[in-house]
Amino acid sequence: MDIVLTFFGRFHPLLVHLPIGFILMGLLFECYKKKIQPAATVLKFIFFWASVSSLLSIVSGIFQFLQEGYIWGNIQGHFIAGVATFVLTLGFYLFLKGNVFALRIPRLFYTLGLFISLMITGHLGGNITHGDNHLTEPLEALVGINNKSEVRFLNVDDYSRQKVYSGLIEPILSKKCVRCHNPKKAKGQLQMHTYAALQKGGKNGIILDFNSPESSEILNRIHLPEFEKKHMPPRAQKQLTQAEKDIINYWVLKGAPEFKTLGELGFNEIQLNSFMVQENEEVYPSIELDLPDKKTIDSLQSMGILITPVKQNSNLLFLSTINYKAFSDNDLGLLASLNKHIVSIDLSDSNVTDAVFTSLSKFSNLVSIKLNRTAISGQGIDQLSKLDNLKKIHLINTNLKSEAIHIISGFKPLIKAFVFQFNRDLRSEISLSPEILVRFDFGNYLLEDLPSDTVVY
Amino acid sequence: MNDIEKKLLNEYVLNQASINSRRHFLKDCTLGLGGIAFGSLLKSCAPSGSPNLFGGERTLNPLAPLSPPKLPKVKNVIYLHMVGAPSQLEMFDYKPELHKLHDQLCPESLLKGKKFAFIQGVPKMLGPQAKFTQAGASGNWISDNLPHFKKVIDDVAFLKAVNTDQFNHGPAQLLMHTGSARFGRPSLGSWATYGLGSENQNLPGFVVLTSGGTPDAGKSVWGSGFLPSVYQGIQCRSKGDPVLYIKDPKGVSRNLKRELLSSINEINYQEFKAQEDPEILTRINQYEMAYRMQITVPEVMDIENEPESVQKMYGVTPGKESFANNCLLARKMVSSGVRFVQLYDWGWDSHGDSPANAVDLGLRNKCKEIDRPITALLLDLKQRGLLDETLVVWGAEFGRTPMQENREGRDMGYKGRDHHGDAFTMWMAGGGIKKGVVHGQTDDIGYTAVEGKVSVHDINATILHLLGFDHEEFTYDFQGRPFRLTDVEGNIIREILS
C-alpha cells in the first residue's frame, strides 16, 4: 500500500500544473468575456475540470507529505492555500451553474480570490521544492548579497586546537548537505544541521555507526559513484571535494566524536591544506584599499600598459610595460592615483632613467620592482629605502654602478637583488660580507667543459 | 539588378541559411532568450570572476591577460617532456639491489596480472647500466649520465613514484598533457592560457618546441580540445621559418597586408555581430596576432644575438633543430612574457632493439643532449631572476621496467627496457617548489611505488595550483557539464611545495 501511496504522491508535482493551467485559462476568458464571448458552457467546462484537478492535486499532495518526510510546519501554508483554491474553484463552478448559494457571493470575489490564492499556493509550493530563496536568489546577486560561504576557515597556527566537529565537519556539511537535510526540509527524514540530528539518523535508521564506523551509512552515501541514485549529494548538486570526502571519512572512522580536537584525532597539515586560510598573501602587504580608479586604469590600458590585479578580486595591482616600451619617466605621473595599489611593477626595456627612483619611492606598497635592460645607473636608488615592503629588485643588464650595490645592501628589510650584467663582473668590483652577498645574484654562471662532454657512445 | 549582383545575393542567402543551423534557430525563437544565451556564451570566453574593471575586453581579445583566482606562485611554466620515456633506472632512481639480480629470471610474482607492451613470458632482470653518485648539499642520488645536472640538483624536487595507467606512448602522452588518454581534451598549456591569457600581446601565450620528432600522440598533446582554438599551442621551429607561412608572400608589402587584414577583420566582425559565434572573434584575433608575430617571433627565435657565453653555456647550434636551442628559446620566450612553453624531445624509447635504443649506449647520448641545456636553463633562469616565477617540469609519459626487454620471448640485440607506468621519476623546480627534496620511493628494484605514489592528475593539480588555480574549481562547460583538467581526481602534492 505504501508503495502505491508513494507512487501516487510522486505525481503531485505534475498534477499541480493542471489546475494552474485550467484556472488561468478560465480567468483569461473571464477578462475577455466582452470581446470573445465564450459560451457559458465553455466556462463551466473549464471550471469543472479545474475543480477535479485541484482535488487530485490536494490528495496527491497529502500522500507526498505522508511518504516523503516533509514537516507539517513547512507545508502548512501551501496546503491551506491549496484547499482555498479548490474551494473557490468549486464555488465558481457552482456559481456558473446557477447554484443559489453560490450566487449570493459576487462574481468578482471568486475571480479575484482565485487569482490570489492560486499565486500564493504556487509560490509556497515552489519554495518547498526549490528552497526559500528560489525566486529571490537571482535578485540577491543584483543587489550584491553574496552569501557564498568562505571555504577556508582553519589557521595554520592553531588548527590543532580546533574542535573537529564544530571547526571542520559542520562547515562542510552546512555547505554541501544541510540545504536538503534540515528541520524545514528533511529529505529522507534526515536532518544534518546539528550533531544531535546526525546522531539521530534518517528514515532508514542511524547514519553514523559508532560500533563499526566503516559501515556508516553516511560514508556509503558519499563514496558511491556519482551516477548512483543513492550518491550524496545527489548528482547535479554541488559535490564534495576529494579533500572534504577524505576528511569526513577520517572523522567517521575515528568514531565521529563531537568534542575531540583536530590535534587529538591526529589530523595533519597536509590533509587540511585546502581548509587553511591561505597564507601566501603574506608576499604582499595586507591592507584594505578602495577600488582603484577606473579612469586611470582605462587610460593606462589604452596606452598598451598592462595592469592587472595580483589575483581575482584583489585591489593590489601588477603593472608592466611589456607592451609599451616607450614608457618614460614622465609617464610615472599617470600612475600617481594608484600609488597605494601597485605592489609589483615591471618597467624592463622601457625608457626610464635614474629619475624613476624618486617617483617609485612614493609607491609605498611596492614589493617587487623590475628595471631590467633600462638606462639606470643607480643614482638616487637610496630613495627606495623608504619602501618598507620591498622584497625584490631586478636590475639586470643596466648601467648599474657598484656604489648602488652598497646602497641596496643597506636596505631594511633586506631584499633580494638580481644584478647580473652581461659584459662585466660587478661582483669583482665590490666587497661585502658573505651574509649580505647571498642577497645578490650576480649571475654570470658558467658550465665548465667536462671531459665526458665529447665522448660519444 | 545585374547578373553579378544576383549571384552575390544568392550566395549571401545560401550562406546565411547554412549558418542558421538548428541551434541558432532554437535560440532565435526563444523570444530574446537568445540574448541571455549569448551572454553566457561570452562568459564562456572569460573564466568567471574576472572583474569588469580589468578584463572586460576578453570578448574582443580572447588572450587578454586575466588574474588567477588565487595568488600564484609562478607566472610561467617550462615543461620538458622526453618523448619515448627515458629510463629512470639509468638517470635518477638508484637501485643497487637490482645489480644483484642482474641476468636472473624475473620472479613470477612480479609478472602476475601485469601487462607489458613487449615483454613476453619470463624476462631477465637488468641491473642499472650507469654509475650513481650522491650530489649537492641534499646528497640526492644521480647517475653519471648527467654530470652537469649535479650542479643544480639542490634546486629540484624529485617525484620518484609517479604512476600512470597507460603503457603505450600515444595514450600516455595524452593522459599526461590533457588529463585523458583519449582525444578531445584541452592540454595543460591550453588551460593555462585560457585561464590567464597572454601578457605579451605580440606573442602567443602557449608555445611548443620540438626536437627530433613529433610526439606519438600528434599535435593533440598541445591541442585546445573543446576550448576555443585560440588557446592551442603554437608550434615554433628552430630551423627555417620559426612559424610556418609566417613570411609575407613575394610581392605583398606589409602595408598591403595591413589593409587586407583590416578589411577582412571588419567583415568578420560584422559576421560576428550577426551570428554571435565566439569562434569568429578567435579568428579575428588570430589574424591580428599572426600579423604582429611576423615581427616579434623571428626576433625572439633568433638565438644568435644572445651573448657568446650564453650560447656556449647551453651548447646551442644555431640554424639546427636541437634540444639545446629549444632550451635557450624557452628562456627567451619566458622572459618575453610567454606563459607556457612546452618542449618535446624525441628519441628516448630504449627498447634495446638498436644501439640508439640501448640503455648503455644511445640513452647515454640522449642524456648528454639534455644534461648541459637543462642545467644551463635552470642557471640562466636563476641569474635573470626568473626561476622564482617560473615552474620547470621534467618528465615523460612513463618510465621503464627493471626487466630486460625480451620481444617475442627472445633476447634482444642490445640492453633495453620495456614501457613501465607503475613508478617512474619526474622532477620540478622553480617558484613555489621546495628545493632538494625527494618525494616518493620505489621498492628495491624500482618496480612499484612503496611510498609517496603520485598520479598524473596529482601533477597537473599541482601545476595548476602553482599558477593560482584550484583544479577542482577551474572548469569549462562543455556538452552540458563542467570539465576539469584533472577530471574527478587529483591531489596537490604538498610535500614538494615550499
Q: Which residue has the cell 536538503?
A: A180
Residue ranges of alpha helices (H) inside B360-455 are 362-383
The fourth-level CATH superfamily of domain B52-242+305-496 is Alkaline Phosphatase, subunit A (3.40.720.10)
Question: What residues contact residue B223 under an 8 Å CB cut-off, 6+ apart?
Answer: B178, B186, B187, B190, B232, B233
Which of A64-68, A100-104, B341-345, B369-373 has the lowest average pLDDT? A64-68
- E strands, B366-436, in order: 390-395, 399-404, 417-420, 424-430
Tell me the pLDDT band of B34, cut-offs 50, 70 and 90. very low
Compute the nearest-CA separation of B94 from chain A (Å): 21
Distance CA A381, CA A103 (A): 96
Which tens digits make up the pLDDT trace of B270-295? 998 898 887 787 788 778 888 888 87
Q: Where are the domains of chain B?
A: 1-30+248-300, 52-242+305-496
Q: So what's the pLDDT on residue A133?
A: 63
Helix (H) or strand (E) holding B317: none
* B326-334 mean pLDDT: 96
- Quickly count: other Cβ atoms within 10 Å of residue B335's Cβ: 20
CA A213 from centroid of its chain's CA atoms = 32
Which of B65, B199, B313 lies nearest to residue A446, judging by beta carbons? B313
Q: So what's the pLDDT on residue A317?
A: 94
Question: What residues contact residue B242 under an 8 Å CB cut-off, 6+ apart?
Answer: B236, B297, B298, B301
Question: What residues contact residue A449 under an 8 Å CB cut-off, 6+ apart?
Answer: none
Tell me the pLDDT band of B421, cut-offs 50, 70 and 90. very high
Q: So what's the pLDDT on residue B378?
A: 98
Which tens digits make up the pLDDT trace of B71-88? 999 999 999 999 999 999
Distance CA B413, CA B11 (A): 65
A330 touches chain B (CB under 8 A): no
CB pair distance less than 8 Å for A314 and B67: yes
CB pair distance less than 8 Å for B53 and A291: yes
Question: What residues contact residue A351 under an 8 Å CB cut-off, 6+ apart?
Answer: A325, A326, A327, A328, A329, A374, A375
Predicted confidence (pLDDT) at residue A72 exceeds the cutoff of 60: yes
CB pair distance less than 8 Å for B380 and A445: yes
**DSSP helix/strand/coil, B383:** helix
- Peptide bond just before A225 cis, omega within 30 deg: no
Q: So what's the pLDDT on residue A52?
A: 94
Which of A292, A313, A452 lies nearest to residue B147, judging by beta carbons? A452
Predicted confidence (pLDDT) at residue B19 exceeds the cutoff of 60: no
Question: To 5 degrees, how large is the angle CA A418–CA A419–CA A424?
Answer: 150
Predicted confidence (pLDDT) at residue B31 exceeds the cutoff of 70: no
**DSSP helix/strand/coil, A181:** strand
CB pair distance less than 8 Å for A443 and B360: no
Q: So what's the pLDDT on residue A425?
A: 86
Predicted confidence (pLDDT) at residue A148 exceeds the cutoff of 80: no
Distance CA A361, CA B319 (A): 46
A427 touches chain B (CB under 8 A): no
Greater model confidence, B306 or A155: B306
Spell out which residues of chain B touch residue A270, defining contact as CB-CB under 8 Å: 494-495
Predicted confidence (pLDDT) at residue A434 exceeds the cutoff of 90: no
b/e per residue, B273-309, with b = 16+ CB within 10 A? eeebebebbbbbbbeebbbebbebbeebbebeebeee
A233 touches chain B (CB under 8 A): no
Tell me the pLDDT band of B17, cut-offs 50, 70 and 90. low
Q: So what's the pLDDT on residue B102?
A: 94
Distance CA B469, CA B457 (A): 14
Which of A148-162, A371-385, B102-116, B418-432 has the lowest average pLDDT? A148-162
A141 touches chain B (CB under 8 A): no
* Prediction pTM value: 0.68
**DSSP helix/strand/coil, B29:** helix
Query: By the 8 A CB rule, do B210 and B260 touch?
Result: no
Which of A278, A283, A447 lies nearest to residue B372, judging by beta carbons? A447
- Complex prediction ipTM: 0.85
Distance CA A407, CA B400 (A): 54
Chain A CA closest to residue B151: A447
Strands B340-346 and A440-441: unpaired
Predicted confidence (pLDDT) at residue B307 exceeds the cutoff of 60: yes
How many CB pairs below 8 A link A and B? 123
Which of A279, A341, A422, A447 to probe by mutation at the B interface, max B CB count within 10 Å? A447
CB pair distance less than 8 Å for B67 and A292: no
Q: So what's the pLDDT on residue B342?
A: 98
Would you give the DSSP letter of residue A307? E
Q: Which residue has the cell 644555431?
A: B318
Task: Give the CATH class of A294-441.
Answer: alpha beta
CB pair distance less than 8 Å for A320 and B199: yes
Which tens digits make up the pLDDT trace of A266-304? 887 767 777 776 544 468 887 888 888 888 999 999 899
Predicted confidence (pLDDT) at residue B220 exceeds the cutoff of 90: yes
- Quickly count: other Cβ atoms within 10 Å of residue A73's Cβ: 9
Predicted confidence (pLDDT) at residue B92 exceeds the cutoff of 70: yes
Phi-psi region of A287 (alpha: psi -120 to 50; beta: other; left: phi over 0): beta
Distances (CA, A) of A200 to A179, A204, A208: 18, 11, 9
Q: So what's the pLDDT on residue B312?
A: 93
- E strands, A186-237, in order: none
CB pair distance less than 8 Å for A283 and B71: yes
Spell out which residues of chain A touch residue B200, defining contact as CB-CB under 8 Å: 322-323
Which tens digits make up the pLDDT trace of B155-206? 999 999 999 999 999 999 999 999 999 999 999 999 999 999 999 988 989 9
Can you say whether the dihedral through the CA atoms of A348, A352, A358, A363 is positive or negative? negative
Would you give the DSSP letter of residue A167? I
Proportion of chain A above pLDDT 90, given as a percent: 45
Q: So what's the pLDDT on residue B35?
A: 39
Distance CA B182, CA A293 (A): 47
Query: By the 8 A CB rule, do B271 and B242 touch?
Result: no
B147 touches chain A (CB under 8 A): yes
Chain A CA closest to residue B490: A242
Which of A53-67, A176-190, A235-249, B202-216 has the lowest average pLDDT? A235-249
Q: So what's the pLDDT on residue B10?
A: 67
Q: So what's the pLDDT on residue A238?
A: 78
Distance CA A199, CA A216 (A): 11
Instruction: Work out the mean pLDDT of chain A and round it to a whole number.
Output: 86
Query: By the 8 A CB rule, do A366 and A390 touch?
Result: yes
Instruction: Give the bridge partners for A131, in sequence order.
Output: none
B199 touches chain A (CB under 8 A): yes
Q: So what's the pLDDT on residue B51?
A: 40
Question: To 5 degrees, how large is the angle CA A332–CA A338–CA A342?
Answer: 90
Question: What residues contact residue A322 under an 8 Å CB cut-off, 6+ apart?
Answer: A306, A346, A348, A349, B199, B200, B336, B337
Q: So what's the pLDDT on residue A69?
A: 66
Predicted confidence (pLDDT) at residue B100 exceeds the cutoff of 90: yes
Which of A292, A310, A396 lies nearest to residue B71, judging by beta carbons? A310
Q: So what's the pLDDT on residue B448?
A: 94
Q: Where are the domains of chain A?
A: 2-135, 159-275, 294-441
Distance CA B382, CA A394 (A): 12
Distance CA A108, CA A97 (A): 16
Which of A281, A310, A323 lies nearest to residue B201, judging by beta carbons? A323
Distance CA A223, CA A232 (A): 8
Predicted confidence (pLDDT) at residue B47 exceeds the cutoff of 70: no
Count of residues for chain B? 498
Cell of B75: 607566472
Which tens digits make up the pLDDT trace of A13-53? 899 999 999 999 999 988 888 887 777 788 899 999 999 99
Predicted confidence (pLDDT) at residue A65 exceeds the cutoff of 90: no
Identify the CA nearest to A370 among candidates A341, A397, A403, A394.
A394
CB pair distance less than 8 Å for A457 and B360: yes
Strands A392-394 and B206-211: unpaired
Q: So what's the pLDDT on residue A34?
A: 80
CB pair distance less than 8 Å for B199 and A456: no
- Peptide bond just before A233 cis, omega within 30 deg: yes
Tell me the pLDDT band of A141, cut-offs 50, 70 and 90. very low
Compute the nearest-CA separation of B179 from chain A (Å): 17
Residue window 333-362, chain B: list those with CB within 8 Å of chain A: 336-337, 360-362
Q: So what's the pLDDT on residue A235?
A: 76
Q: So what's the pLDDT on residue B11?
A: 67
Distance CA A174, CA A99 (A): 55
* A332-351 mean pLDDT: 94
Tell me the pLDDT band of B221, cut-offs 50, 70 and 90. very high
B489 touches chain A (CB under 8 A): yes
Q: So what's the pLDDT on residue A357?
A: 96
Q: Give the range with max mean pLDDT: A39-48, A145-154, B25-34, B423-432.
A: B423-432
Q: So what's the pLDDT on residue B253?
A: 86
A313 touches chain B (CB under 8 A): yes
Spell out which residues of chain A touch residue B492, defining contact as CB-CB under 8 Å: 273-274
CB pair distance less than 8 Å for B73 and A280: yes
Distance CA A225, CA A230 (A): 9
